[in-house]
Structure 1
Amino acid sequence: MNCRGRVSPGTAAPTEERSCSWLNPWVFFVSALVIKTAFVTVCLVVFLHGSDGQYKTLLQNATEWRCIPSMSAGKKESWTCCPKGWKRFQKSCYYLPADKMSWAESEQNCTGMGSHLAVITSEAEQEFLYNLAKGAATNAYETKYYIGLSASGNGQWQWVDQTPYEKAATFWKPGEPNLLFAEKCAAIHIKGKTDSNTYSNWNNILCFTSCYRICEQAVKVV
């Protein structure tokens, strides 16, 4: 872009046009900035959508993740990840919030974190969660942690993720569950830090009881 010298009345026009040469460096700078921005944008798009979207799940929110290397037979090396502050066991991540809620509020709270109340299907998982809860328990006479098991109106127990309820794979305390007409929610029951019982410690309680909770979500593999 050129601009011409201004001619004052009664004076001769300048013999040469004066070009706005001072604009040229700015035009170059702006052009370079636009090109650089476009390049960075393309790189980000390629990164976020590359590798079959492996990292996209982890970048959907501001959660900080902790990952460890994992090798499986016949497959290349991968990473298994849990959110910071969650404990990993086998293929799940677990979290024990420090406040108390009813069963329904507990499940809603876990859902809000992309998880659900814990679903226990093996002795190994039961032992892990019992020890995890026991480690977090205080010296109170008893502490209860909601899990993802509740009874319907007809007394049929069901897990929050629709895992089939198998009586042989449950860990109820002796004599539990009882009073099913009122106590329709399950919790891991711990009696202080001196309680050595790993299994057979589930208790059914009133669903509006304020208890701690155990949230569970699948590990992320990237």
Structure 2
Amino acid sequence: MLRGVRRIERQVDDLVESLKLNKEKPPKKCPTGFISIDNWPSCYMFSSFDMSWYEAKDYCAAFDSDLVSLGTTREHFIVTYFIKNNKEYNDAAGWWTSGSFVSKTKQWMWTAQLFLKPFSFIKWAPGEPDEEAAQCMVVAGKDDHLWNDELCILRYNFVCEADARAL
């Protein structure tokens, strides 16, 4: 099992090296303040301050974006790699995503823009989700950037995601 984990870690390291993060001069397809990644369909803006989940969704909407939907394992590793390896961001307690528990369907879903999409993979921390009242998903710094459920009124940093192809 340990060999499998090491192999995955090497693959993630190789992937991140090949993506070449470009913060200084984003291409024209990303809004100002967003980070572009070569050959990747999304742009990201990492907050340097905290807000409730609702405020963070509104903030992202003001930039024609939404809270990040970590739709693939690859995207999860890209976003968390950037957080972990950026001194400005790696001390944050957590990062809001668009993940939310939808009572009507009784499942966790990405709630970005005008669609609801069930999680296609999960990266919950051990014992999570653990609270029925906690309806919003955060990438938790204390749990090595795995997912936790939290009350939506709590304040965390957040990641906005914009579709690079549409810009």
- Superposition CA RMSD, Å: 2.3
Q: CA deviation at 1:97?
A: 1.7
1:172 maps to amino acid: W
Q: 1:205 aligns with which of 129, 150, 155?
A: 150
2:26 maps to amino acid: R
Q: 1:81 aligns with which of 29, 39, 57?
A: 29
Aligned partners of 1:137 and 1:143 also within 8 Å: no
The 1:153–1:119 alpha-carbon spacing in structure 2 relative to 1, beyond 3 Å, is: same
2:32 maps to amino acid: K
Aligned partners of 2:65 and 2:162 also within 8 Å: yes
Matches within 5 A, 1:126-205: 126-134=76-84, 135=86, 136-139=88-91, 143-153=93-103, 155-161=106-112, 162-166=115-119, 169-180=121-132, 182-191=133-142, 197=144, 201-205=146-150
Unaligned runs of 5+ in 1: 1-64, 68-79
Matched, 1:105 2:58: no
1:190 maps to amino acid: G
Work out the number of aligned pairs and report it: 136
Aligned mates of 1:156, 1:183 — CA distance in 2:
13
Tell me what 1:120 maps to: 70
Q: CA deviation at 1:138?
A: 4.7
Aligned partners of 1:92 and 1:219 also within 8 Å: yes
Tell me what 2:14 maps to: none
Q: CA deviation at 1:171?
A: 1.1
Tell me what 2:26 maps to: 66
Aligned partners of 1:133 and 1:145 also within 8 Å: no
Unaligned runs of 5+ in 2: 1-24
Bigger mean CA offset, 104-113 vs 155-164: 155-164
> Secondary structure of 2:118's match?
coil
Matched, 1:216 2:164: no
Aligned mates of 2:79, 2:34 — CA distance in 1:
12
Aligned mates of 1:150, 1:221 — CA distance in 2:
25
Aligned mates of 1:144, 1:208 — CA distance in 2:
14
Aligned mates of 1:94, 1:138 — CA distance in 2:
16
Aligned partners of 1:121 and 1:170 also within 8 Å: no
Q: CA deviation at 1:207?
A: 0.7
1:165 maps to amino acid: P
Q: Which has the higher contact order (CA 8 A, sep 6+)?
A: 2
Question: Deviation digits for residues 57-106 of structure 1, max 9, x if unmatched?
Answer: xxxxxxxx832xxxxxxxxxxxx621233112410000012121100111
1:177 maps to amino acid: P
Runs of 4+ with >6 A deviation: none
TM-score, normalised by the number of residues in structure 1:
0.55
